[in-house]
Structure 1
């Protein structure tokens, strides 16, 4: 028979983390065991850019929506891998340069319009350069905007969830 504390710990580990993709839920160990845990994810641009257009999940898989966030920036800024992974695609889609990176737990981040400096199959570390931002993202209110997307399988998710600390919810014990 399990104790209430053991059951609670098992429930938390099993996924009572809400609003955060599973791969982002638990930070990894920090170097040399000192200080806070190392982050698994980072902004795909230097510093914390302004979100010029937020994520807007479509009502159905084929409905209108905004399947990512637009980050205000400038032409020529380096675009960085948000997390460790392997480049799944680096090329042109519908006339726009795109880079996609596969991560653990079935997550894929996408970055566009980005002139790639990486190639498909190449491993990348969190914060490493993927290419440079180019102009041409429709509706961008500044010089250039990075459209940053996130999917798990065929489901689009808000990529800003990767940057938020996990929320742990404890259920009442009766």
Structure 2
């Protein structure tokens, strides 16, 4: 049996899907404080990831979405985007460059980083689905690839 059909099938099964999300800051992306899920709705935790960057750095939409809020909450200004699939990302503290209702594309500048969140300037980037907070770094980091030997029929890719 020729190797080509198997190679083509494996290429199709293993090809990465196009990225839906990217980093909200230009490189580099040093994480100064990681996500730590709260044990309860009002319990302690860190509901996002803090990424170090210089004040004034452009903050980018991590994915295509609609601006649902851009403005002050308590003592900080932030931008919140609603994405397909029920995800909502939040970026703070930033000076918004967008307003509510605007559609943005992944990589569009949505604001510029301000001082005030960390000991050194950083962007607090959060994501949630409904009321559940999720680790935003999972949007941009790939899980380890595990290749298994192929014996017998090829499993369907599913959908």
**Alignment TM class, shorter chain as reference:** 0.7 to 0.9
**C-alpha distance in 2, partners of 1:98/1:153?**
19
How many aligned residue pairs are there?
133
Separation in 2 of the partners of 1:166 and 1:49? 18
1:105 is the counterpart of 2:82: no
Q: 3-state SS of the aligned residue for 2:91?
A: strand
**1:161 pairs with one of 138, 144, 155:** 138
Structure number with greater CO (CA < 8 Å, separation at least 6) is 1
Runs of at least 5 residues in structure 1 that lack an aligned partner in the other structure: 1-34
Partner SS state of residue 156, structure 1: strand
Superposed displacement of residue 49, structure 1:
1.1
After TM superposition, give the deviation of residue 164 of structure 1 in Å. Answer: 2.3
Residue 149 of structure 1 is matched in structure 2 by 126
The alpha carbon displacement at 1:39 in A equals: 1.4
Q: Residues of 2 paired with 1:88 and 1:166: CA distance?
A: 30
Q: How large is the RMSD of aligned CA atoms in angstroms? A: 1.9
Answer whether contact 1:52 1:141 (CA < 8 A) is retained: no
Native 8 Å contact 1:76 1:132 kept in 2: yes
Q: Deviations over 1:92-137 (max 9, x none)?
A: 0002001000001110000000100000000000000001000010
Distance 2:28 2:56 in 1: 17
Q: Extract unaligned runs of 5+ from structure 2.
A: 1-14, 149-159
Partner of 2:34: 54
TM-score by length of 2: 0.78
Secondary structure of 1:38's partner? coil
Residue of structure 1 in register with 2:71 after alignment = 91
Does the aligned pair in 2 maintain the 1:98–1:110 contact within 8 Å? Answer: yes
